[in-house]
Amino acid sequence: MNAFFNEDHEALRQLARDFAERELEPIAHEIDEEEYFPVEVFNEMAEMGFFGLKIPEEYGGSGLDARAYVCVMEELSKKCVSAAVLVSAANTLGCEPLLLAGTEEQKNKYLPQVASGEAFIAFGLTEPNAGSDAGSMTTRAEEDGDDYIINGRKCFITGAPFAKYCMVFAKTDPEKGAKGISCFFVDMSLPGVSIGKNEDKMGQRAIATSDVILEDVRVPKSEMLGEVNLGFITAMKTLSMGRIGVGCQSIGLAQGAMDLAVKHIKERKQFGRRLCDFQAIQFEMAKLETKLNAARLLVYNAAFEKDMGNDVTKAAAMAKFFASETCLEVVSGCLQMFGGYGYSKEYPIERLYRDARVLTIYEGTSQIQQIVIAGQMLK
Ligand code: CAA
């Protein structure tokens, strides 16, 4: 226990740790190779309540705080970051816009489905020519009677191939740039919605990612989330919470790599001594451990600030920026301890290295996090 967590948090952490060791660790290698996430494990995660941690009880969730979410995310990420991505998507990108801007009817319709695992909601912000510059999207939603007609293409959409719905951000007033974007709930089975090919990604291969193509998709006005032209702000606020989730993935994955490296250097002998008896190795481990702990404190602090009801734009960006960069350093350093074995797919550290690489990219690159941090400092 530490200053950030109470006994309930720690009990939940233990539950998630047991689950990760029992259900995720044994399959992590295979699901990366086979590029699928088993439905049975997804359903078990739903039964454990992992998808509704932050969803209020009246909408079928557990109504827990951000720190509870952090405990679960960190533990799952130690063994299988792909599983944590599902939890992250459900608790932040998939439900935060609803919690921030949804009507009572929309919350009642969608949140129980997310909490129970019945529906996965994808987050459709990025486009082929609008990544970091999200406000320059060209997907268009035009009013037509009681509906909007949406046309455009979203890319790198996590979970799109198995999503039941997609939260689509589209221009309703293109002249106004970021201030002319609205958010729509799009049922993936609607006529005109299709998905692209599964991206052949470097890591996190168990979770399918693809384009979402929208061709004259007719969406009732009742499926607009929040007010017209305020979608960008909803997206930005959602990403703040999402970035805490990526921070959790980073510290969890890095700890997973450290655990593997510590075990390895205690066993492996070269020049007649265990690797851990070399001071050069000890210094490297001490440096990585210190950075990892600093990253962990930034992530815990961002969640704590969220629970205190404070604006976390800066805290979340700092947590995501530092934790993801640190994770790359830790995983690379740990892989180095394995020498040639670290480069072999027979050792899990190779997968962790690939899984980690996107952490400084998705939900806002490190460069974007620095823009957000500086923007908050200098406003
Ligand atoms: N809260 C409230 N309002 C906010 C806000 C926030 N966090 N961030 C911005 N706004 C407001 C601004 O105040 C501004 O309004 P005013 O002019 O009235 O002040 C308005 O929104 C526009 O903001 P900016 O002028 O700052 O917008 P910008 O176009 O310059 O972009 C940016 C800012 C921070 C670079 C933003 O575009 C950004 O975050 N880009 C990164 C996008 C990103 O993270 N993409 C990840 C996609 S999701 C994903 O990766 C998940 C997956 O599935 C893999």
In the reported structure, the alpha carbon of residue 233 is separated from the centroid of ligand 1 by a whole-number distance in angstroms of 7
- What's the CATH number where 13 sits? 1.10.540.10
Which residue's structure tokens are 């962790």? 352
Q: Is residue 173 domain-shared with residue 216, that is, in the same domain? A: yes
Q: Is residue 212 domain-shared with residue 152, that is, in the same domain? A: yes
Q: Is residue 250 domain-shared with residue 290, that is, in the same domain? A: yes
Q: Which of 210, 228, 246 delimits the end of a domain? A: 228
Q: What single-letter amino acid sits at 91?
A: N
Pocket test for ligand 1, best of 86, 139, 205, 232 (most atoms within 8 A of CB): 232
CA 127 to chain CA centroid, nearest Å: 18
Q: Do 98 and 54 contact (CB within 8 A), yes or no?
A: no
32-56 confidence digits (pLDDT tens): 999 999 999 999 999 999 999 999 9
Q: What is the pLDDT of residue 1?
A: 54
Q: Which of 228, 263, 287 delimits the end of a domain? A: 228
3-state secondary structure (DSSP) of residue 43: helix
Q: Do 158 and 206 contact (CB within 8 A), yes or no?
A: no
Q: What single-letter amino acid sits at 131?
A: G
Q: Is residue 159 domain-shared with residue 222, that is, in the same domain? A: yes
Paired strand residues for 269: 274
Q: Do 245 and 306 contact (CB within 8 A), yes or no?
A: no
For the chain, the domain total comes to: 3
Which residue's structure tokens are 């359903």? 43
Answer yes or no: is the C-beta of 125 below 6 A from any ligand 1 atom. yes
Residue 221 backbone dihedrals phi, psi, to 5 degrees: -60, -25
Judge if pTM exceeds 0.95. yes
Task: Collect the ranges in the chain with pLDDT lower than 50.
Answer: none
213-264 confidence digits (pLDDT tens): 999 999 999 999 999 999 999 999 999 999 999 999 999 999 999 999 999 9
On whether residue 2 sits in a domain, the answer given is no
- What's the CATH number where 166 sits? 2.40.110.10
Q: Is residue 243 domain-shared with residue 359, that is, in the same domain? A: yes
Radius of gyration of the chain (CA): 21
Answer yes or no: is the C-beta of 232 below 6 A from any ligand 1 atom. yes
- The share of the chain scoring above pLDDT 90, in percent, equals 98
In the reported structure, the alpha carbon of residue 37 is separated from the centroid of ligand 1 by a whole-number distance in angstroms of 31
Closest atom of ligand 1 relative to the 134 alpha carbon: 37
- The verdict on whether 363 is a catalytic residue reads yes
Give the start-end residues of each E strand in the chain. Answer: 121-124, 140-144, 147-158, 165-171, 181-187, 193-195, 209-220, 224-225, 269-270, 273-274
Q: Is residue 15 domain-shared with residue 80, that is, in the same domain? A: yes
In the reported structure, the alpha carbon of residue 179 is separated from the centroid of ligand 1 by a whole-number distance in angstroms of 10
Domain ranges, residue 49: 7-116
Q: Which of 59, 91, 116 delimits the end of a domain? A: 116
